[in-house]
Amino acid sequence: MSIFEQKSRIGEYGRTGVLHTRAGDVPTPTFMPDGTRGAVKGLTPQQVVDTGVKVVLANTYHLHLQPGEAVIKELGGLHAFANRKGPLLTDSGGFQVFSLGEHVKITEDGVHFKDPKTGDKRFISPEKSMQIQLDLGADMIVAFDHLIGLGDETETEVKDAFDRTHRWLERCIVEFKRLTKDMDEAERPLLFGVVQGGLNLNLRKKSLEIVQESEVDGIAIGGLSVGETRAEMETVLKALAPLYRDDKPRFLLGVGTPEDLKIAVENGIDMLDCVLPTRNARHATVWTENSKKIHLTNEKYGVDSSVIDKTCNCYTCKNGFSKAFLRQMFKAGDPLGGALASIHNLRYMSRICEEYQKIV
């Protein structure tokens, strides 16, 4: 059976489908919240499931630093450790490592860096990233790539990162195959290779060609949402949209506003992840009808008895938690406010995906 089954079209390049993982099937398009340390901050696993979320992304870098993949493996893997029943995806750790800036030294072997909390020297290579993610027990894992920002980087720096990403992909595939050689097909996690190339469309297209022709299960689009404008991101996604193979799922890393989700899906993306919906929620910012963003600490909500969005069927809205109550929770520093707002924002993103899934 194919890993991905395409069901229907969304416009010229978008689509609906079903992604088959060892932990269950995932209807697409789908939004995945970031459970950085194995859990979505402030929410129980059941609360996350109740929002319609089908996949949670956990962070390889943070879990490697604490408590360590050996501990999690000993405790039965990330599903048991975090009490997560459905599919889990881990990123490669590359984004967090490269974001450490001057504390990072990149070599062809891998990346040397200091633990920002302890100062201990650490090292992650393509092989090490595969080992960590397999020990964590994720159902979908991502190859280790060389990420750069989209600020003052030169064409040479972009090209160097492009080339290194593909050399590292080859090493990831070799190590992944070694680590999974004794697994049945149904037991094996899915491996995603990463497309890089900055805003250079020729490099992006070439990277996609290389990744799609390699022995990976899915395509991850990396190196966006790192400082470029929405228009620049859309230009890259539009350039890649006609070039995807139908049999592989496509995952856009680190993108997660309602507007960006719609742009991505209509340009062929099946999966997205981002910390933004829950991070915004913990800072009292939520989405309402037509992707309007409101700030619940605004004084005008002090006597507002209405819910965040009367059209929403999330726990927060359907149970009548008013803007006035939520404002009070945030003003009092009560974490219930962030939890209720997070539930709403995750349900908001899931509802957008579900509307696309209805297209036949």
Q: Tokens for 241? A: 């949209």
Kind and range of the H or E run holding 69: helix 69-74
Task: Based on the residue annotation, tell me whether 139 is a catalytic residue of this protein.
Answer: no
Which candidate in 91, 139, 260, 309 is catalytic? 91
Which candidate in 135, 139, 260, 273 is catalytic? 273
Residue appearing with tokens 């008013």? 322
Of the candidates 7, 13, 10, the residue with the CA atom closest to the CA atom of residue 26:
7
Q: What letter represents residue 153's amino acid?
A: E
CA distances in angstroms from 68 to 61, 190, 309, listed in the order given: 9, 22, 41
Supply the DSSP symbol for 189: P
Q: Give the list of residues 6+ apart from residue 94 with CB closer than 8 angstroms, or none.
A: 111, 129, 144, 145, 146, 147, 194, 222
DSSP assignment string, 19-43: EEETTEEEEESEEEEB-TTSS-TT-
Task: Based on the residue annotation, tell me whether 91 is a catalytic residue of this protein.
Answer: yes
198 close to 210: Cβ distance less than 8 angstroms? no
Cα atoms in the Cβ-side hemisphere of radius 13 Å centred on 155 = 4
Q: What letter represents residue 310's amino acid?
A: K
Catalytic positions = 91, 273
